[in-house]
Amino acid sequence: MRVPQPPRSLERYRRVLLALLVALSVVLAIDPHDRADWLLENALAIVGVGVLVATRHTLPLSRVSYTLIFLFLCLHEVGAHYTYSLVPYDAWAEAATGRTVSSLMGWQRNHFDRLVHFAYGLLLAYPVREVFLRVAEVRGFWGYYLPLDVVMATSMLYELIEWGAAEVLGGDLGTAYLGTQGDPWDAQKDMALATVGAVLAMLVTAAINGFTQRDFAREWAESLRVKAHLPLGEEELARRTRAQRGGGQG
């Protein structure tokens, strides 16, 4: 079956976003604070962009999804340039307003990494939802829960990758990549913020769909209805065994 091609306006929009991201990445690749950490931080981003480019015809996302992904990657590139724990947002705020963000909020550490973890859930939960709806054809409750679940799982996986990389690399590079800034609960807080961001994204999405989708309540209820009333597990295995024996005897 011939795969329908996305409209040309979407293709142009994707190219503009990619060009802007490449331009920002090139600028921020100039004299980063720690070149080795910059390379580590960008490894997963390059893989992610590569996947989006490779699937642009078979699974073209909406403009909303591409824009959300673009915004997240822009934040990530800023963090990779300075290292997340050294992004000078206080200096920027003081130059613009005469006050630092930390003095207003009473912060004792650099919280840019917290912002990006929150943005991970807030900005990427919707693109994940779009993939679930279009590939797995999930509906109702599962269209909101599964994106949240994926954000939580991948956030946990990233923390494990950070821990493993820090153990292998060690020294200043491992410390810069891990970015805990002396907080023993850094990983848990990062995962919690990503979860909060994803919950907010799915609540907003559900609210919009509730107002605009006529069968919203029916679809939600149908998604929670039991479709297969017989148990699986060993019961299903026994049924398959009986079916195979019956077919062999025939």
Annotated domain spans of the chain = 8-88+103-226
* 173 alpha carbon, distance to own chain's centre: 25
Higher pLDDT, 83 or 181: 83
Please report, rounded to a whole number, the percentage of residues in the chain having pLDDT higher than 90: 63
Only one residue has tokens 């002396």, namely: 182
Asked if residue 174 has pLDDT above 60, the reply is no
What are 14-70's pLDDT values in tens digits?
999 999 999 999 999 999 998 988 898 898 899 999 999 999 999 999 999 999 999
Amino acid found at 120: Y
Asked if residue 240 has pLDDT above 70, the reply is yes
SS (H, E, C) 109-167: CCCHHHHHHHHHHHHHHHHHHHHHHHHHCCCCCHHHHHHHHHHHHHHHHHHHHHHHHHH
Tell me the mean pLDDT in the region 72-85. 93
Whole-model pTM?
0.89
Asked if residue 2 has pLDDT above 90, the reply is no
Q: Is 4 helix (H, G, I), strand (E, B) or coil?
A: coil
Average pLDDT over the chain, rounded to an integer: 89
